[in-house]
Structure 1
Amino acid sequence: MQNKGVWIALGLLPLILLAGLIGVFVVKGTGIEAEPAAPVEVIEFQKVVLTPNSFDITLRNSGPGEATVAQVLVDDAVWNGSMTPSQTIPRLGTANLQIPYPWVEGDPYEIKLITSNGLIFAHEIPVATATPELSRETLWSYSLIGLYVGVVPVALGLLWFPFVRQLGKQGMHFLLAITIGLLMFLLIDTALEAWEEAVETPRGFFAQPLVILIALATFLLLQRLGEAGENKASGLRLSFLIALSIGLHNLGEGLAIGSSFAAGEAALGTFLIIGFTLHNITEGLGIIAPLANQRPSFRYFVLLALLAGGPAIVGTWIGGAAATPLFIAICLAIGAGAIMQVIVAVSQFMRQEVTSKINWLSWSNLSGVGLGLAIMYVTKVFI
């Protein structure tokens, strides 16, 4: 028992000494008295909502210390604005700024904030238009958009199943190789979108390393669950995993569409609907690739369509509520990790099916991967 107490004390000793060192720095300081040449403040416009005769803005302080908004300007004219809970925003804190202003539909505006230290932060509104309000009608509209973008094109892709069943062993491998190409493109696309959202996130949240860590953690978790749950990959289970990973990707697409409409960019949102619908029909083909030798029920196909396309509906809801870049980045990072794991699972499935007549890395399979990448690239061009 005495030895155990000594062992615990030795384990705590470095932490106790570290706490003492930090305490010395807090009380005595670093010994360097030089002040910074200029104050360091960062205020970001996290959300801008245009309501009749008003700009309602959510601000976030992503600087190293608190920041105080001293003055508000609209088109370089000083304007009154009320801030809640206070004009002083703590580090990583938020505040709501309401600016009564008779803005005109279609006109551009520039809003500037001047802090108590004289720093200026600006936000441009290229075309003023009322921000859509969330209501039962708008939620229903978002649901239809998610249905058109996610569920319907994926379901249409699943209609290739009778054609796929007529393929031989070599044809099935070629189709699985195409699926790997599709997933590789989705992985790169999702990872880049997650990184872009992380760049837009306030720096104090360290979103870029967080995106990498979440993607890796998702991959490792799914890989561990896959190894614990089965000895050999099955076609039914693999199609389920592919649908799940595609669903997480489509969640990000729904977020992009919902955010476009929430920002009043209806033309961009409509363009994204057409592009994503064309893009997503190829995903159904990837989902049914492992099912060539299976006889799943109709209900299973319904489940696959909802699993792969349904998250697009949820994404439009969240995007329509103006989700933060950090939340979107986290969702996309989870999707990237899931897609990465499914690529590994499909590769393992192909290797299990290898015979003396089929080479896993044959020119046919490699060309299938290239074709999958090409299909996704061409359809992505329309987005």
Structure 2
Amino acid sequence: MPAPTATRPVVPTWVLAAILVAVMAVVLAGLALVGGDALPERQGPPVEQLAVERTVLEPGTIELRLRNTGPDAVSVAQIFVNDAYADFAGPGDEIGRLASASLKIDYPWQDGSPYLVSMLTSTGAVIEHQIAAAVETPAPDAGLFGLMALLGTYVGIIPVLLGMLLLPVLRRASRPWMTGLMAFTVGLLAFLAVDGTIEGLDIAGASSQAFGGVELLFLGAGLAFLALTAVDRMVSARRAGAGAAGRSGYAAALMVAIGIGLHNLGEGLAIGSAYAIGELALGAFLVVGFAAHNTTEGLAIAAPLSGGPGRPPLARLLGLGVIAGAPAILGGILGATVDNAELTTFLLGVGVGAIVQVVVQLASTMRDGSGRILNPVSVGGLCAGMIALYATSLLVAA
């Protein structure tokens, strides 16, 4: 008896999926149009919320860039600065949900003085914004970009390259020492991930949260982890197709450099934002502190290169240092000119996710002869790496 043949569906799968998506879209649009009319009106006063995303201080003016984070539209009727009425220019219409607007207040503020800006809405509600210490906002010009580039070079590129100078010493290390060094690298990266998470949580808590606060941190971490995992799988598949065994030392060092670079991008954002509001004390202590802190990152990049045959070309080493350190320059420029807490939170999350993915990759390099990842040498290296980065982080006053 012949086997029954499978019948081919009359409607292709993609056509069926398109029809179902269209039906769902029509139903949702109908609910949006007529669903609200069928519900009773909300009782009580409107819920009015305005978040100040950026404060721009220029001589004689205070500009507040606002976003409506509440469910109802908001109209600003009057503004008081330190309980004194102040003239302002702003949108004549209401600020709708999630919409943004700028209010430019005429006020002769004094450098270093604190100010409380009170916004009185058309319904009589008062929304306050505190300026801890008034500092003129730097103009986004060539001077600012040059300063951020110099600062990013000081705290990003130079210290990473300094840490990579230890490569000749690392190449002479024995197998047990190599296991300890790789564990030391993993400890450094693990502490970076924890440090970035804590910093991201702090910044997320202070953001407007109009588009998410802590969620942006974990969204960035998840996307970065998955993206780097996909890249690693693709590279491994190509190496397998070419007959190469395992992951090369350069490939591992490149992934470490990318992870550290994404972390330094978020770190640069925080530095630039702090400079824009006058909370960054530029000076030798800041430079030396960041240099000592980030030199350990260069060591983390050099460690995977120490076990390979031959001496890595100088251009390749410089490239790794630039990949890891240069994002601090871009971050500084973005932080000083944009100063958006939500963007900073997301990019810090990207750095955390990238570093976690690199830690997962490097975990296998800590195995001893019995195949154990957690052995006396690796545990000692992990602890030493975390302690080293913690100790150097105490030197950073930013």
| TM-score normalised by length of structure 2 | 0.87
CA distance in 1, matches of 2:129, 2:77: 16
Amino acid aligned to 1:244: I
Question: Given the superposition, is the C-alpha separation of residues 109 and 370 from structure 1 closer, same or farther in structure 2, using an over 3 Å criterion?
Answer: same
2:4 paired residue number: none
1:368 paired residue number: 381
CA distance in 1, matches of 2:264, 2:72: 38
2:49 paired residue number: 42
1:150 paired residue number: 156
2:211 to 205, 211, 214: 205
- Does residue 1:130 correspond to 2:136, yes or no? yes
- Does residue 1:303 correspond to 2:316, yes or no? no
Matches within 5 A, 1:103-252: 103-230=109-236, 231=240, 232-252=246-266
SS of the residue aligned with 2:307?
coil
CA distance in 2, matches of 1:137, 1:328: 23
CA distance in 1, matches of 2:278, 2:177: 47
CA distance in 2, matches of 1:335, 1:169: 30
Contact 1:257 1:269 in 2 (8 A): no
Contact 1:262 1:322 in 2 (8 A): no
2:277 paired residue number: 263
Q: Unaligned regions of 5+ residues in structure 2, if any?
A: 1-7, 241-245
Contact 2:179 2:365 in 1 (8 A): no
Contact 1:69 1:87 in 2 (8 A): no
CA distance in 2, matches of 1:199, 1:214: 16
- Displacement of 1:270 in angstroms is 7.2
1:312 paired residue number: 328
Aligned length: 379
CA distance in 1, matches of 2:147, 2:287: 13
- Displacement of 1:25 in angstroms is 6.9
Contact 2:262 2:350 in 1 (8 A): yes
Amino acid aligned to 1:292: S
Contact 1:110 1:125 in 2 (8 A): yes
- Displacement of 1:345 in angstroms is 1.1
Contact 1:175 1:289 in 2 (8 A): yes
Q: Unaligned regions of 5+ residues in structure 1, if any?
A: none
- Displacement of 1:350 in angstroms is 4.0
CA distance in 2, matches of 1:59, 1:170: 57
CA distance in 1, matches of 2:17, 2:298: 58
SS of the residue aligned with 2:140?
coil
Matches within 5 A, 1:59-138: 59-84=66-91, 86-138=92-144
| TM-score normalised by length of structure 1 | 0.90
Contact 2:81 2:117 in 1 (8 A): yes
Contact 1:258 1:269 in 2 (8 A): no
Contact 1:257 1:273 in 2 (8 A): no
CA distance in 2, matches of 1:320, 1:112: 26
Question: Given the superposition, is the C-alpha separation of residues 205 and 271 from structure 1 closer, same or farther in structure 2, using an over 3 Å criterion?
Answer: farther
- Does residue 1:335 correspond to 2:351, yes or no? yes
CA distance in 2, matches of 1:362, 1:217: 32
Question: Given the superposition, is the C-alpha separation of residues 204 and 105 from structure 1 closer, same or farther in structure 2, using an over 3 Å criterion?
Answer: closer
Question: Given the superposition, is the C-alpha separation of residues 25 and 343 from structure 1 closer, same or farther in structure 2, using an over 3 Å criterion?
Answer: closer
- Displacement of 1:266 in angstroms is 3.9
Question: Cα RMSD between the aligned structures?
Answer: 2.5
CA distance in 2, matches of 1:261, 1:13: 52
CA distance in 1, matches of 2:190, 2:268: 20
Question: Given the superposition, is the C-alpha separation of residues 146 and 102 from structure 1 closer, same or farther in structure 2, using an over 3 Å criterion?
Answer: same
